[in-house]
Structures are given as structure tokens and as C-alpha cells.
A and B are shown apart, each in its own frame.
Chain A
Amino acid sequence: MIANYGYKDGSGEYYISIDTDQCIDCAAGRACLRACPKGMFETMTDDYDDEVVQIKAQFRRSLAYDCTGCKPAGGHTSLPCATACTPGAVKHSW
């Protein structure tokens, strides 16, 4: 399942998508949990009883601000979460 967490408002679309099929047997040892400097990722059991990763609820409406530090303007050339997820399950829409 491709789970998109985030929002769209007048300023743009801000979604982090997670391919949970790749999360089930994570080949990266849940590296995304440690890679995000803000600790935005967490594990949970989804509706189909699989343990996957999601974005914590308190961050879902403020991604444009919370992720700023990891964007090029914050000095990063690649996103720590997407880089840590070697199976390529994590993507940003912006």
C-alpha cells in the first residue's frame, strides 16, 4: 500500500509517501526512525495487521515547515529519511 501523509493547501502539496509493502520486511532495519532529526516516523500495526512505518499524527499538517531543515535550503543534498530507506519506500512530493 502506498500511504501518503500530509496535506495540500494554498501554498502547495506536501506529502510523504511510504510504500508499506516494503516496510513489512524492512531491509534497512527501520533506519528511517533514526534518520529523521525530528523523529517524525513511528512504527504501527496497520489495518491488515502488518507492522509498518507511518508519520506521527502531530507532524502531518505541518510537513512544509518540519521538513525544511532537511531540504537543500537546510544544507542537505539528499533527504536523510529517503536516503536511509535503502528499499526506496520513502518519498517526498515536494
Chain B
Amino acid sequence: MSAGEKKEYWRWEESCWVDESKNWRNARIVTAGIDVGSVSSQAVVCVDGELYGYNSMRTGNNSPDSANNAIQGVLDKSGMKLEDINYVIGTGYGRVNVPFAHKAITEIACHARGANYMGGSSIHTILDMGGQDCKAIHCDGKGKVTKFLMNDKCAAGTGRGMEVIADLMQIPIAELGERSFDVDVEPPAVSSTCVVFAKSEALGLLKSGYTKNKVIAAYCQAMAERVVSLIKLIGVENDFFITGGIAKNSGVVRRIEKLLGTTAAKTKYDSQIAGALGAAVFAYTLMQKQGASKVAA
């Protein structure tokens, strides 16, 4: 980093992955889900209803470009062309701006379906901690939404709020979770109603002698309390699953688990792709209903 260049502590790691043990050319149905969120965009490609590859990256200032860039990552890595994909579903805030999507479905339904795929049919409560909103979802054993509630009015309890704190503390966002446990005594939560107030309060705490880790712990606790109060409005029915970028922050996840008195189901998949994965699975189901024929040579 050159002198004067500002380090972006909030910047989370983008990722692109393809399952090289699968050959998409042998697939009967290839589907894709594109989740254009307010902070991140994901593209997931499924072959015959199974996860084949994904790309997760930051959303730019243009939804169609974000969707194109997201899918292009998977296409480049797999040798696939857009025409090889039978059906594409767009979801997320920018779902109506995915130029190559055949249909748009809300992220609420897609996250439920994605969580069902990732965690299995025992998942009944989902907490999606997105970039600029937070959703509590109940679903049945097939991933169909039975109840939902969301809060997108304020950034407290969202990924963007965590990015703000990472920048303020000048600590890489991926390290916040573990560092929040490196404290002698668990501090009380900072203001849980507004990121702007929480930021001011954090500065005040630093001046009063709090260590950075202690401030982070206070913020993680505030975020956990914030989303737990939301999810309690619809009730928790096990198994419980967390999707979205914040699911990667152990400092928030473990505090949520403590407040709820339950453990979130673990998954081998990237929690950030749940929405796009759900969209791709939806697309597969739709294609099956339509009696799709093999398209890939």
C-alpha cells in the first residue's frame, strides 16, 4: 500500500467457485439465480438442481452491470455461455434489473428455499442478515415461506453497519468476530437503534478508555440484541439458520445464539449465496414443471 492510499477495512473477500467434479455439459437442466443486493451480488449456477458454481462480489452502482459481472465470473471459470443456461431467476433489491432473467422472485422466498437446500428440511426459522436489511423468516420442510418480517428502515443490525464499524476501528471486517471475544469482561451493548448513533457512541467509548476489542464486542452485542428482538416477533422454531454476510461473523452469531438459547445450524456452503442459490433451485423446479429438455451439447 503506497503512502496516502486508504486501506479499506470494510472490504470483505469476494469469491468465485466452480465444482470441477461435475460436468455441466452432461446436465439435463442448467439454471441460475442472480441475487443483486444493496451491498453484494451473487450468481449461482445449478446443474440438475445441484449447486455447481457461484460468484459473490460487491454490488456496483448499476444493477444490470452487477448482475452481468456476477454471472460472468461463473461463466469464465466453467467455460459455459449464458445461452447454455435454461432458466434464470433474479432476486434481491435489484431483481427487476437483471437483464437476462426470465422471472423475478422476492429474496424472502429465495432465502427460505436456499436455506432449505443448505441446511435441510429441518430448517424452520431463518434469519437473513443482509447488507441493508434484516429478515426473519419461517418456512416449512420444503422451504416454502409461512411467515416473514423484515426491517429495512435502519442500518442497525445489517452488514453495512458492520462495515462502518470496521472502518471506524480500522480492523479488517473478517477479524471483527473473533476479536470481539478478546475482552476481559463482556461490555454492555452500544446504542442498538441507529448506526450513526452507535458510531458516535463507539468514539466516546474509545475516548473513555475502552479498547478497540471491547468496542467491537459492544457493537456485536448491540447487533445481536437488535436482530433477536426482531426474530422474537415471529418466534423461533428449530432448526434455526442464519444467512447473509453477517453469518460469517462469529462475534454476532454466537451472541445471537446465547440470547436465543439455541444454536444456529451449520453448513458447508457460503451463507452469502443463500438467496441466489434459492433462486437457482426455484428455476430448476419451474423447469421441471415445464418438462425441460436437454440443452447442453
CB neighbours of B183 from chain A (8 A): none
Tell me which of B148, B151, B153 contacts A3 (CB under 8 A): B148
Within 8 A of A (CB), among B140-161: 144-154
CB distance from B280 to the nearest CB of A (A): 15
CB distance from A60 to the nearest CB of B (A): 8
Bound form: Cα–Cα A20–B123 in Å: 22
- Contact stretch, chosen from B56-64, B228-236, B251-259: B228-236
Bound form: Cα–Cα A27–B264 in Å: 40
Query: A1–B154 contact, CB under 8 A?
Result: no
Contact with A along B96-120 (1 / 0, CB 8 A): 0000000001101100000000000
Bound form: Cα–Cα A35–B149 in Å: 24
Query: A47–B105 contact, CB under 8 A?
Result: yes
CB neighbours of A48 from chain B (8 A): 109, 144
- Chain B interface: which size bin? 20 to 34
Contact with B along A5-28 (1 / 0, CB 8 A): 001111001010000000000000
CB neighbours of B150 from chain A (8 A): 4
Within 8 A of B (CB), among A27-61: 47-48, 61
Query: B233–A15 contact, CB under 8 A?
Result: yes
In this assembly, does B194 line the interface, its C-beta being within 8 Å of a C-beta of chain A? yes
Once A15-B233, A47-B105, A48-B144 are accepted as A-B contacts, the answer to whether A10 and B193 lie under 8 Å apart by CB is yes
Bound form: Cα–Cα A3–B147 in Å: 6
CB distance from B146 to the nearest CB of A (A): 6
Contact with B along A57-72 (1 / 0, CB 8 A): 0000100000000000
- Which B residues are closer than 8 A to A by beta carbons? 105-106, 108-109, 138, 144-154, 193-194, 229-230, 233-234
**What are the nearest 8 A-B pairs in CB distance?**
A47-B109, A4-B149, A7-B153, A10-B193, A2-B147, A61-B153, A47-B105, A7-B151
